[in-house]
Amino acid sequence: MTLETLSENRSFGGTQGVYRHKSQATGTDMTFAVYLPPDAADGPVPVLWYLSGLTCTHENAMTKAGAQQFAAEAGIALIFPDTSPRGEGVANDEAYDLGQGAGFYVNATQDPWAPHFRMWDYVVEELPGVVFDSFPLDREAQGITGHSMGGHGALTIAMTHPERYRSVSAFAPITNPTESDWGRKQFSAYLGEDRATWRPHDATLLMVERGFPGEVLIDQGANDQFLDLLKPESLAQAMAARRQPGWLRMQPGYDHSYWFVQTFMADHVLWHAERLA
């Protein structure tokens, strides 16, 4: 796999890079970012995946989340994938919550999305192969987190592949998409009307059915303007019923923005670092 280096910048003693490659999963060029802490100069380091939300690219969290300082201190790498395929010939929609920028971390089966919108395969299978072959990363020490749509992706991926991810957290995740307009619309478009195909991509349903073998950390702004779409109460009830170890913290006064994500990023990065050590 040939990587094209788009940029590399020194950051807190490590390196923040942006790279592009041809993806077999999506059939497009895909761009992603990797932060390597100073410890990576001495050998493989643990990995924290960060999945972004609606309308985002790899760049939003890379520049707005403020994660690099804490990753450098903890000695862990950060990986920021894109949220969807992009480019000429890739299906799109005028709405911000469907199409490019809104891949929802699923493998689409319906036209016109099926040829390129295979973000589950890209994030779970293809991109890990690329980064572990290209950077000094510890394949046995992976955690995953994300914001909003990315929090949905992080939770569903981790609960589906607990053998791969030692830790999982989320910022304001879409927790019950089969019962939300942020989910039903996209799942109908990408996966069709058979709701059985939606179930593997609903964190609340996965929590009821299988949970996660480790602890789970979730932060949610209590003043989030999208609370009715995110449905944190659904996941909280599922966690309580299952007696899932972990925390779902409602943070007073915080909204859905990256100001919220920045505020609690240190908590999440260091929490993952403890579990990946």
**Choice among 201, 224, 268, 272 that is catalytic:** 224
Q: What is the pLDDT of residue 81?
A: 98
Contact 172, 149 (CB under 8 A): no
| SS3 of residue 54 by DSSP | coil
Match domain 3-276 to its CATH number in 3.90.1150.10, 3.40.50.11890, 3.40.50.970, 3.40.50.1820. Answer: 3.40.50.1820
Scanning the chain, the segments in alpha helix (DSSP H) are: 59-64, 68-74, 119-121, 127-134, 149-160, 181-191, 203-209, 227-230, 232-242, 258-276
Q: What is the pLDDT of residue 1?
A: 66
DSSP per-residue codes, 172-215: S----GGGSHHHHHHHHHHH-S-GGGTGGG-HHHHHHHT--SS-
Q: What is the pLDDT of residue 271?
A: 98
148: annotated active-site residue = yes
The one-letter amino acid code at 233 reads E
| Cα 41 from Cα 190, distance rounded (Å) | 42
Question: What is the residue whose two structure tokens read 């449905």?
Answer: 231
Per-residue pLDDT reduced to its tens digit, 144-156: 999 999 999 999 9
**Choice among 148, 167, 169, 234 that is catalytic:** 148
pLDDT-flagged residues of the chain (< 50): none
Per-residue pLDDT reduced to its tens digit, 31-87: 999 999 999 999 999 999 999 999 999 999 999 999 999 999 999 999 999 999 999
β pairing state of 14-22 and 137-146: unpaired
**Choice among 58, 116, 147, 256 that is catalytic:** 256
Q: What is the pLDDT of residue 122?
A: 98
The one-letter amino acid code at 207 reads M
Of 196, 197, 205, 202, the C-alpha closest to 182 is 202
| SS3 of residue 43 by DSSP | coil
Segments making up each domain of the chain, as ranges: 3-276
